[in-house]
């Protein structure tokens, strides 16, 4: 059994952060240990919420308690998402290094949650710069959306060539593998949405039909990062993980739209994301 230490936000209601990552990991057979960077009533997309961002000292204390159980060498990966504050980010990067020291085969998957197209940045000042300057060099696998990819590489992504140039630029700064969780480009079918994975062994692109929502559900990037990581840990095959993650999130989207909610329907779609009814083939680009 594979094990993942996932350090992300938590909401009491809805599915973002660890609430969007832990169940998919577990449903796919991964033993997930969750550390919550915040506890909010609901995700911030509603415009109003209650709760707190936990202090860096609190998170470090939780990690110390986990380490005291002697389980860090058993972790196959650290997955991080919404960090909340720069000080929390420092603890997360240090924790990833700590796990990798305990298990040299472990990988650090960083989902650089900080903004999105149309919304801009939605994190505290200083976090984008911290992620760019400290989390990127520490990560083995990065899972940015298109907005985050553009910021982290200071490149505009409008075409497939742009996207490949940006992922190459990001890999040159540390990560061995980059997954772009949502790609919209001028030279693609406007009724589709794509994901791109780029690594030393090649790059692959997968396309799925674009489903419309009003409003769109939050947490899809969190879920995709977890789905991709779960499948990647089984065989370390990026193309296979890409295809399976794309089919899984599409199944979740279909169920969510059918049920007419703004929260990802992970529970209702659990059988579908484990055995998706539709499959999508990845195209090798290089």
> Any binding-site annotation on 237?
no
What per-residue confidence (pLDDT) applies to 119? Answer: 77
User: CATH number, domain at 88?
Assistant: 3.40.1190.20
Q: What is the mean pLDDT of residues 275-281?
A: 97
Give the pair of three-digit tokens for residue 29.
């057979």
Surface-to-core class of residue 285, CB atoms within 10 Å of its CB (0-12 exposed, 13-18 middle, 19+ buried): middle
Give the pairing of strands 202-209 and 192-199. Answer: antiparallel
What is the tens place of the pLDDT at every residue in 50-80?
Answer: 999 899 999 999 999 999 999 999 999 999 9
207 is in an annotated binding site: no
Residue 24's domain comprises: 2-284
Flag whether 94 is marked binding: no
Q: CA-CA distance, 269 to 255, in Å (whole number)? A: 6
Q: How confident is the model at residue 124 (pLDDT cuts 50, 70, 90)?
A: confident
pTM score: 0.96
Check the annotation: does 61 bind a ligand.
Answer: no
Domains of the chain: total: 1
DSSP secondary structure letters along 63-99:
HHHHHHTT-GGG-SEEEE----SHHHHHHHHHHHHHH
pLDDT for the residue 120:
78
Band (pLDDT 50/70/90 cuts) for residue 161 is very high
Tokens of 142: 């990065």
Write the pLDDT tens digit of every residue in 80-89: 999 888 999 9
């Amino acid at each position: 059994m594979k094990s993942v230490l996932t350090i992300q936000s938590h909401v009491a209601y809805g599915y973002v952060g660890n609430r969007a990552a832990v169940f998919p990991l577990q449903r796919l057979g991964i033993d997930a240990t969750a550390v919550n960077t915040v506890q909010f009533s609901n995700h911030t997309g509603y415009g109003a919420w209650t709760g707190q961002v936990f202090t860096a000292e609190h998170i470090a204390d939780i990690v110390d308690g986990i380490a005291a159980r002697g389980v860090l060498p058993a972790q196959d990966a650290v997955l991080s998402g919404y960090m909340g504050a720069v000080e929390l980010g420092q603890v997360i990067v240090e924790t990833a290094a700590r796990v990798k020291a305990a298990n040299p085969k472990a990988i650090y998957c960083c989902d650089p949650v900080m903004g999105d197209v149309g919304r801009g940045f939605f994190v505290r000042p200083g976090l984008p710069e911290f992620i760019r300057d400290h989390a990127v060099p520490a990560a083995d696998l990065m899972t940015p959306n298109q907005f985050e990819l553009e910021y982290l590489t200071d490149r505009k992504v409008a075409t497939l060539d742009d996207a490949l140039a940006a992922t190459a630029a990001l890999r040159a700064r540390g990560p061995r593998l980059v997954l772009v969780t949502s790609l919209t480009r001028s030279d693609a079918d406007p009724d589709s949405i794509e994901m791109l994975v780029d690594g030393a062994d090649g790059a692959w692109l997968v396309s799925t039909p674009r489903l419309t929502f009003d409003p769109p559900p939050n947490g899809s990037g969190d879920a995709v990062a977890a789905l991709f990581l779960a499948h990647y840990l089984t065989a370390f095959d990026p193309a296979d993980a890409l295809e399976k993650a794309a089919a899984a999130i599409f199944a979740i989207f279909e169920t969510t739209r059918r049920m007419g909610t703004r929260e990802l329907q992970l529970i209702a779609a659990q059988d579908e994301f484990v055995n998706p009814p539709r499959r999508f083939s990845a195209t090798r680009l290089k």
